């Protein structure tokens, strides 16, 4: 019997290695797997490359992971936001590498990784300083730049519902980066609000099929997320 | 001769958006444009984090933590709205499916270059978000911004001094003083002076590049 459901956050994060590239779902706080990120603090892996849209806020989750010196590099589109002081201090002090990627290129690089596409051309970023050092080519009279797939060793994502095969649904704008990150990683761990019996999620309504998910752990987050 | 207010600028942009367009609104004055599109005119708002059919902010006490816009503020969903993941959302933007994007900017050049994401080559923490995807991918890019900086320097210029978001992307600029088109091969072409009582010469004096007129 296939059963991807594990009983604890610790178990869900077993085997995450030092130096791993970790994809973290969410757009700001929405769809962000807070308990898995906190679990990574306990788990101990270091020298991480973190891929996320934002660079954490306050002194919890990703911000705390950075504060404790566990993150070597962050790849994101929008590191500066309300409360992103930990990121800003570490970056200014030269203690954190930063790769800025336009948001759509970030999503597409992960989608490409999941779909077996090693690189692609896009006009986004052409003619800007983010094109520096990138191969460029003209298609239909317009300059495009080459962007490479961005695979993860691990993806930490947040689902709304899951079953033991790892089929997932998301809730409202909590979907965001989670499905493409699930596709792009070798080990995808989903924290979920609800676990349903096999077949209870309508096959027409599965957002991420279980083929992209290796482990599922239930976390009831309480208000305002219920 | 006062220019129009921020709400006035947003209302002026809204007037030019026809029914049926898919529209992405940036943060700041662009977000306010939605409040000036009459409900009976069906304009479908796109939010980069995976929403079509975005509605206004919720009534007090009726907020939903799962439903936020690109600025992470809580919003609502109109009947007919939908949710999708980031690659699909940016597929809509990058694939040319969005009819119009309205952004703020630091500078717009007379060749349509836009600079709106970083204020210097050595920005302490640059943050691009979806601006480059939107500028490169939307069918039309309009900018809404003040005509000059707070200390009076023109924001419509011959050539951007700040790092570019995209080259040659802007079609139209709405400022507190005027509506100006960017016409390839010509540069800035004045469509309308919004500031009451302002002459062409006065407007030109506050503009960092030649303003053409159709006359």
Residue of B nearest to A182 (CA): B85
The band of A21, judged by pLDDT with boundaries at 50, 70 and 90, is: very high
Instruction: Provide the sign of the torsion angle of the four alpha carbons B138, A126, A105, B125, taken in this order.
Output: negative
Phi, psi of A174 (to 5 degrees): -75, -5
Which residues on B lie below 8 Å from A28 (Cβ)?
68, 72
The band of A188, judged by pLDDT with boundaries at 50, 70 and 90, is: very high
Which residues on B lie below 8 Å from A129 (Cβ)?
118, 121, 163-164
Cβ atoms < 10 Å from Cβ of B5: 11
* Token duo for residue A99: 């790769």
The band of B2, judged by pLDDT with boundaries at 50, 70 and 90, is: confident
Sheet strands side by side (includes B100-103): B76-83, B51-55, B44-47, B22-25, B100-103, B141-144, B172-174, B178-183, B187-193, B211-212
What is the greatest pairwise CA distance in chain A? 55
Please count the helices (runs of H) and the strands (runs of E) in chain B.
5, 13
* Token duo for residue B95: 């694939």
Catalytic status, residue B202: no
3-state helix, strand, coil in chain A (%, to 5): 25, 30, 45
Q: Out of B49, B77, B127, name the one closest to residue A79 (CB).
A: B127
pLDDT at B124: 65
- Tell which residue, A62, A81, A39, has the closest CA to residue B128: A81
Q: Out of A27, A87, A130, name the one closest to residue B49 (CB).
A: A27
For an interface test with B, which of A84, A124, A141, A193 has the most B Cβ atoms less than 10 Å from its Cβ?
A124
pLDDT at B1: 57
Which residues on A lie below 8 Å from B132 (Cβ)?
102, 104-105, 124-125, 128, 130
- Tell which residue, A52, A183, A49, has the closest CA to residue A111: A183
pLDDT at B66: 97
Please write down the long-range contacts of B57-66, taking CB distance under 8 Å and 24 or more positions apart. B63/A224, B64/A172, B65/A29, B65/A30, B65/A224, B65/A225, B66/A30, B66/A171, B66/A172, B66/A173, B66/A174, B66/A225
- Percent of chain B at pLDDT exceeding 70: 97
Say if the Cβ atoms of B137 and A107 lie within 8 Å.
no
When pLDDT is averaged across residues B143-150 and rounded to a whole number, the result is 97
Q: How far is A147 from chain B (nearest CA, A)?
A: 13
Task: Single out the catalytic residue among B48, B107, B121, B192.
Answer: B48
* Token duo for residue B120: 């210097």
Q: Give the separation between CA A126 and CA A134, rounded to whole angstroms.
A: 9
For residue B172, pLDDT over 70 is answered with yes
For residue B122, pLDDT over 70 is answered with no
Q: Give A66-124 pLDDT, tens digit per residue.
A: 999 999 999 999 998 888 899 999 999 999 999 999 999 999 999 999 999 999 999 99
- Which ipTM was obtained for this model? 0.96
Interface contact B7, partner A, CB < 8 A: no
C-alpha gyration radius of chain B? 17
For residue B215, pLDDT over 70 is answered with no
Q: Out of A29, A101, A127, name the one closest to residue B167 (CB).
A: A127
């Amino acid at each position: 019997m296939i059963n991807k459901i594990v009983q604890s956050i610790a178990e869900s994060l077993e085997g995450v290695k030092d130096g791993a590239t970790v994809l973290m779902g969410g757009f700001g706080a929405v769809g962000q797997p807070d308990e898995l990120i906190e679990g990574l603090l306990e788990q101990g892996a270091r020298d991480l490359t973190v891929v996320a849209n934002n660079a954490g806020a306050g002194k919890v989750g990703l911000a705390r992971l950075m504060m404790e010196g566990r993150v070597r590099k962050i790849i994101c589109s929008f590191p500066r936001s309300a409360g992103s002081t930990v990121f800003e201090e570490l970056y200014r002090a030269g203690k954190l590498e930063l790769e800025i990627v336009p948001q759509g290129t970030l999503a597409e690089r992960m989608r490409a990784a999941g779909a077996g596409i090693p690189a692609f051309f896009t006009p986004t970023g052409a003619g800007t300083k983010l094109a520096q050092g990138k191969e460029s080519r003209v298609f239909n009279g317009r300059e495009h730049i080459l962007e490479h797939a961005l695979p993860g060793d691990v993806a930490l994502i947040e689902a709304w519902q899951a079953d033991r095969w790892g089929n997932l649904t998301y809730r409202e704008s909590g979907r965001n980066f989670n499905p493409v990150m699930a596709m792009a990683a070798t080990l995808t761990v989903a924290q979920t609000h609800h676990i349903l019996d096999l077949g209870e999620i309508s096959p027409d309504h599965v957002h991420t099929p279980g083929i992209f998910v290796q482990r599922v752990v239930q976390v009831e987050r309480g208000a305002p997320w219920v | 001769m006062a220019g129009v207010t921020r709400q006035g600028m947003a209302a002026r942009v809204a007037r030019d958006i026809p029914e049926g367009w898919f529209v992405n609104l940036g943060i700041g004055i662009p977000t306010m444009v939605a409040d000036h599109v009459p409900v009976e005119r069906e304009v479908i708002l796109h939010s980069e984090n995976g929403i079509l059919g975005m509605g206004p902010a919720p009534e007090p006490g009726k907020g939903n933590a799962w439903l936020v816009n690109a600025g992470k503020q809580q919003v609502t969903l109109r009947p007919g709205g939908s949710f999708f993941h980031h690659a699909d959302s940016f597929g809509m933007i990058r694939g040319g499916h969005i009819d119009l994007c309205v952004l703020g900017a630091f500078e717009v050049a007379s060749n349509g270059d836009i600079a709106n994401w970083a204020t210097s080559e050595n920005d302490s923490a640059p943050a691009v978000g979806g601006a480059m995807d939107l500028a490169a991918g939307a069918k039309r890019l309009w900018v809404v911004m003040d005509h000059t900086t707070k200390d009076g320097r023109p924001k419509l210029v011959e050539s951007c001094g700040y790092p570019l978001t995209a080259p040659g992307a802007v079609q139209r600029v709405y400022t507190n003083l005027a509506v100006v088109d960017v016409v390839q091969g010509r540069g800035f072409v004045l469509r309308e002076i919004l500031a009451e009582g302002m002459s062409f010469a006065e407007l030109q004096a506050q503009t960092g590049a030649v303003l053409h007129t159709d006359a």
